[in-house]
Amino acid sequence: MRALLQRVSDARVAVDGRVVGETGPGLLVFVCAMQGDGEDEARKLASRVARLRIFRDESGRMNRALLDAETPSALVVSQFTLAADTRSGNRPGFSTAAPPEEGRRLYQVFTDCLHNLGIATQTGEFGADMAVTLTNDGPVTIWLDTQS
C-alpha cells in the first residue's frame, strides 16, 4: 500500500459541495491499495502512519508521532492515482492499483486500524470525485510505501 501524508493545520474533503470529512491539526492521508496488497499491508501502513515522528516536540523538532498528540486526528482519502506509472509516455498508467472492490476493502481496513489505535479518523468517499482543501503545516509531506 502507498500513502502520502501531509501534516496539516486543517483539512476537509467535499463531494458535490457537501463536506464529508474534516480534521483540525493532524494528518491528511491519501492512501492507495496496490495489486497484491492484503490486510497485513493495510495494518502495517496504519501503524507506520500513527507512529511516524513528524510532529514538533517542545523544542520544535520533529520528534513526536500522531499517537503522541493530545487529540490525534486524521482525514483519510482514497487516491488510486498514487499508483501512477509514469515511466513511459505522457499519460500515467494505473494498472498496478488494486481492483476497486479490493481497494475499497483495504482502505476500510487501514482506516479502521487508525481508529482502533485511538486516532479520531474521518474519511472521504471512496471512488467519488472529491474536492480536498488543506493547510499544510511546515510544509511536511511524506511518502510511505509498504513495498519498499
Catalytic positions, written as ranges: 79-81
106-143 burial: b if 16+ Cβ within 10 Å, else e: bbebbbebbbebebebbbbbbeeebebebeebeeeeee
Rounded to a whole number of angstroms, the CA Rg of the chain reads 15
- Give the Cα separation of 111 and 119 in Å (integer): 10
Contacts made by residues 90-97, CB under 8 angstroms, sequence distance 24+: 95/35, 96/34, 96/35, 97/32, 97/33, 97/34, 97/35
